[in-house]
Amino acid sequence: MTRARPCIVGVGGPRLAPEEAALFARTPPAGVILFARNVEDRAQVRRLVTDLRSACAPWPLLVLVDQEGGRVQRLGPPHWRRLPSAAAIGELARAEPEKGVRAAWLVGRLIAQDLYEVGIDVALAPVLDLALPDTTEAIGDRAFTSDPELVGQLGRAFLAGLEAGGVLGTIKHVPGHGRARTDSHRALPRVATPLDELARTDFHPFRECASAALGMTAHVLFEALDFERPATLSPRVIAEVIRGAIGFHGLLLSDDLEMGALDGPLAARAHAALEAGCDLVLACSGDHARNRALLNALLPMSETLAARLKLLLGRPGPAPGFDESAAALELASLLGQA
């Protein structure tokens, strides 16, 4: 079997183009991420996922999507239910912690229901960044709350709901994007907070959820750790904080390498992230020429990484006995929407 390249890429539209299928057959990526541009309805998404897997066969492709609830929900109405934001769950949890934790589990489980049905393996959620007064609107209501302990509890519940539905979760943006005042989609945020304060606050939710299968890095430069490189490109941040102090040992994905926080050619960004310690790099644009250049620039992944990916794809399916309608009603009642 041809080992895939250690990257996750986007595709251009709701149907796999012949040139995309041919590229993936020659040089398969480890995974494909879907966006709203790839989504029309349930039957169409199932076909697209099937076609992607056929193109990459016999490589067992990961299919991922940003499905957090709130404003980051690629599968949305009218064909999928609208789900609450993390901030709405956090507001409930601050008032009634047990109900908030239950709501987080229900949202994770309902997301898994929708994704598993169309063949998607990975939800790029939950966001574990703290919702601080100066947090950039790029995070905003995607974050649960400012309380590190409560964010950790809600994150664990969300991940458990996803797992119960047969879908993998992804903790992001490790080791924390909450103190960034700049939108990393546009420019590189710099954070000057002392390391002991970061360890006590921002890092805490990630420690609490360190057993997650996947994690996504933050394009944030932490001056107390690396004055030159953001976390995604920093061997020190990845080794000492993400793998060390936080204790995350799952698959580490970069955030989208095509964001404005990074500079230089895409292939150079990818090599720098992989050399820093990311397992897989993410390129979301879906531009065919950029995908081709990236896939051709990367060597096949190691046998060890390939084995880890295959193990993830062999996870159990949904636990039996889930009543989707009852779960949706319970969630609405908890949030005062019934």
In what helix (H) or strand (E) does residue 256 lie, and over which residues does it extend? strand 251-256
Number of helices (H), then strands (E), belonging to the chain: the values are 12, 12
Catalytic (active site) residue 79: no
Name the active-site residue from 51, 79, 185, 288.
185
CB 60 within 8 A of CB 310: yes
Compute the distance between CA of residue 258 and CA of residue 66 in angstroms, rounded to an integer: 16
Three-state secondary-structure class, residue 247: coil
Instruction: Record the tokens describing residue 255, joined without a space.
Output: 């955030």
281 beta partners:
7
CA angle 131, 276, 66 (to 5 degrees): 45
- Only one residue has tokens 């709350």, namely 145
CB contact burial 59-98 (16+ within 10 A = b; e otherwise): bbbbbbbbbbbbebbbbbeeebbebbbbbbbbbbbeeeee
Q: Which residues, 6 or more positions from 70, have their beta carbon under 8 angstroms from its beta carbon? A: 83, 84, 85, 86, 87, 88, 141, 142
**Catalytic residue of the set 114, 141, 255, 279:** 255
256 among known catalytic residues: no
Task: Specify the amino acid at residue 27.
Answer: T
150 phi and psi angles, rounded to 5 deg:
-70, -40
Q: How far apart are CA 123 and CA 137, in angstroms?
A: 21
β-pairing verdict for 67-69 and 5-10: unpaired
Q: What is the DSSP letter of 185?
A: T
User: In angstroms, rounded to a whole number, what is the distance separating the alpha carbons of residues 110 and 175?
Assistant: 27
| H-type alpha helices, 27-60 | 42-56
Q: What residues act catalytically?
A: 185, 255
